[in-house]
């Protein structure tokens, strides 16, 4: 005779919780690596004026007073 009890501690619930825990741990690891990358980027921008200027030019399209700025936008649609 086999008896099974289903409550909050049954095998199915525990298995689902372990999978959820694994997914959450992966998210935590990803967030930690992103945090480290961003801290390194911040330190680089704080200590290297050339890197800060590069970021300003590329991301925010800033320019010096005597420069002209041209943006080249590639068309990603394919004409058929």
Contact between 50 and 44 under an 8 Å Cβ cutoff? The reply is no
* 46, HSE (Cβ side, Cα atoms, 13 Å): 6
Element of type H or E holding 41: helix 11-47
List % helix, strand, coil for the chain (3-state, nearest 5).
60, 0, 40
Provide the whole-model pTM: 0.59
> Is residue 40 a contact partner of residue 48, using CB atoms and an 8 Å limit?
no
List the pLDDT tens digit at each of the 80 positions of the chain. 666 666 777 788 889 999 999 999 999 999 999 999 999 999 999 999 998 888 888 888 788 888 887 878 887 776 65
* Residue 33 contacts residue 39 (beta carbons within 8 Å): no
Residue 10 in tokens: 């049954």
């Amino acid at each position: 005779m086999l008896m099974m009890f289903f409550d909050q501690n049954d095998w199915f619930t525990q298995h689902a919780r372990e999978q959820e825990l694994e997914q959450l741990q992966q998210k935590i690891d990803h967030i930690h690596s992103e945090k480290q990358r961003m801290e390194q980027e911040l330190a680089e921008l704080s200590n290297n004026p050339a890197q800060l200027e590069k970021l300003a030019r590329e991301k925010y399209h800033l320019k010096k007073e005597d420069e002209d700025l041209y943006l080249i936008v590639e068309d990603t649609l394919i004409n058929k």
